Amino acid sequence: MDFELKTLSPTMITGLTADALLVLVPDAFVPAKSDPLSVLVASAERLGDLEPGVGKTLVCYRAPGFKATRVVLVRAGSGSPASVRKAVTAAMALVKVPSVRKLGLVLNLLPGDGRAVRAAMHACADATYVYTTTKPSAKARALQRITVGVDKMAAVQRDFDIGKAQITGVEFAKEWANRPANHATPSMLAEAAKKLGRHPKIKTEVLGPKQVEALAMGAFLAVARGSVEPLRFIVMHYAGGAKGAAPVVLVGKGITFDTGGISIKPAAEMDEMKFDMGGAASVLGTFAALAELQPGVNVVGVIPACENMPDGQAVKPGDVVTSMSGQTIEILNTDAEGRLILCDALTYAARLKPHSVVDIATLTGACVIALGGVRSGLFSSRDDLAVALHNAGETALDPCWRMPLDDEYAEGLKSNFADMGNVAGRAGGAITAAKFLQKFATDLPWAHLDIAGTAWKSGTAKGSTGRPVPLLLQYVLDVAASPQSGAPNVAKSVRTKR
Ligand code: BES
Ligand code: MN
Ligand code: ZN
């Protein structure tokens, strides 16, 4: 799908040849002029055919004065990014037909917020995305070319570029998360990372079982034991910033399938545990976006990838393992495997002398109960980093919500046989999981995003959302623009004890 940005005058709007023109009409629009678009909107409003309310649509065929086959008017409320996204999503449902291959997205009537341009592009891509890798019979996306029309192209060029890169990243993440586990093994994820490593600014290293053993990642190794698929520890370096500048480190949970292990999960909906590498997919997707946008910042992606399977060799409830940090862990529930692979990855991340470390994980069912599918769970012992990530989520319309990390929540992790257990009780499960991770992030400017509720959708719309690529990309861009943004190395004084 090809996006192009164009400055469109009123006469150019009518002259645009397209299978459909999607015109966003904000509430504040006053159709004063006598150009065909104003006349069309005015008549539609007068006849009551274009009702007020974000996402209300009217399809017009052979609209007088227009070259385009269809003109779709859609109400865009205040023209805010959120209402624009809602409006475009509604309108796209009407033009998602094989005969619409070339689309004009007319944003001229909007207030001119660059973020609305990004929101419109995102909604356009989201509505037309089709997964085909293991479903060749699925009709590939019909939409080929989208002309984004605005008043002044120069004012929104940067947002347009970010929008395009974000779509690349989101679709990359969707592709990998949607693939079933037999088409997205740890080795295949590593190959995808290596392919990204062909970019001149990206270098990919892949470690196998022997090297991971040499690093003494006892917790990660314990999870991988039950599978015949060999684990992979993937490290990607994006060098966009000054040599030696502290990198943003993104750590993605890469469980390519989570059966629960010996603490096996029930059969119903277990297929959805192919999405348990959604964190890893979001890191890969963010790198795909970085390759395109090439911001001036250093970023390292770290992905521990393996399957969690039951087997004669599998780790057993009660087994005690030694993590890379030296801390011992009693594995009371083998289904709490995400934190086991992440804890060693966090210890590894500390070696990179990071600007900040953000882990992204489909970590707990409890987070789905707490926040549903709207906001990801955000945990951080650092206020500055939490604020930076929260704001990035708001900007990118990929929101998260901060959760507490009081030390009392760690009580349940105590063990008689190891430095800690890997589970506490059922209460506050998303928080106790975060408290576990925090024990491996001491002295690190660390944050954790629990994306269990936001990374994919269930039911008839089953599939990856590509989240939180928009949030991560925005955060990285914010750091590039001002390294103080959630720059814990600079702002040590803001450190809080939680
Ligand atoms: N991958 C799951 C978390 C999950 C569950 C995500 C459901 C999305 C939907 C994770 O590995 C897991 O199994 N967590 C357990 C932890 C428990 C054993 C403490 C959970 O949430 O039930
Ligand atoms: Mn699990
Ligand atoms: Zn899991």
Domains 2-152 and 173-481 share a fold: no
| Position 144 pLDDT exceeds 60 | yes
- Going from the Cα of 404 to the center of ligand 1, the distance in angstroms, rounded, reads 19
pLDDT the model gives residue 483: 85
Phi then psi for 296, rounded to 5 degrees? -85, 75
Q: Which of 96, 101, 201, 265 is catalytic?
A: 265
Say how far apart CA 155 and CA 42 lie, in whole Å. Answer: 28
Query: Ligand 1: which atom is nearest the Cα of residue 422?
Result: 19
Q: Write down the pLDDT at residue 312.
A: 98
Please state, in angstroms and rounded to a whole number, the distance separating the CA atoms of residues 235 and 233: 7
pLDDT (mean) for 71-94:
98
Asked if pLDDT for residue 498 goes beyond 70, the answer is no
Model pLDDT, residue 232: 99
Quote the pLDDT of residue 117: 98
- CATH code for residues 2-152: 3.40.220.10
Cα 170 to averaged position of ligand 1 atoms, centre (Å):
23
In the predicted structure, residue 497 carries a pLDDT above the cut 70: no
243 in catalytic set: no
Predicted local confidence at residue 487, as pLDDT: 56
- Helix, strand, coil percentages (3-state) for the chain, rounded to 5, are 40, 20, 40
Q: What is the per-residue burial (b if ≥16 Cβ within 10 Å, else e) of 337-357?
A: bbbbbbbbbbbbbbebebbbb
User: What letter represents residue 378's amino acid?
Assistant: L
Share of the chain above pLDDT 70, in %: 97
Atom of ligand 1 nearest to the CA of 255: 1
Indicate which atom in ligand 1 lies nearest the CA of residue 366.
21
pLDDT in tens, 239-290: 999 999 999 999 999 999 999 999 999 999 999 999 999 999 999 999 999 9
Give the per-residue pLDDT at 490: 44
Question: Ligand 2 centre and the CA of 361: distance in Å?
Answer: 11
- Among the bound ligands, name the one nearest to the CA of residue 269: 1
* CATH, domain range 173-481: 3.40.630.10
Query: From ligand 3's centre to the CA of 26, what distance in Å?
Result: 43
* Token pair recorded at residue 391: 């704001």
Give residue limits of the domains in the chain.
2-152, 173-481
**Confidence band, pLDDT 50/70/90 cuts, at residue 494:** very low
Residues touching ligand 1 (Cβ under 6 Å) are 258, 276, 333, 335-338, 362-366, 368, 423, 429, 452
Question: Minimal CA–CA distance to 306: which of 360, 229, 235?
Answer: 229
> Which of 115, 253, 339, 375 is the catalytic position?
339
* pLDDT confidence tier of residue 488, bands split at 50, 70 and 90: low
pTM for the predicted model, two decimal places: 0.97
336-360 pLDDT, tens digit per residue, is: 999 999 999 999 999 999 999 999 9
CA R_g for the chain: 24
Distance CA 428, CA 411 (A): 12
What is the residue with the minimal CA distance to atom 3 of ligand 1?
364
Alpha carbon of 327 to ligand 2 centroid (Å) = 21
47: its two tokens: 């006849």
First vs last C-alpha separation in the chain: 46
Q: Whose CA is nearest to atom 13 of ligand 1?
A: 335
Residue with CA nearest ligand 1 atom 22: 365
Q: What is the mean pLDDT of the chain?
A: 96
Would you state the pLDDT for residue 33?
A: 76
Q: What is the pLDDT of residue 32?
A: 80
194 flagged as catalytic: no
How many C-beta atoms lie closer than 10 Å to residue 210's C-beta?
9
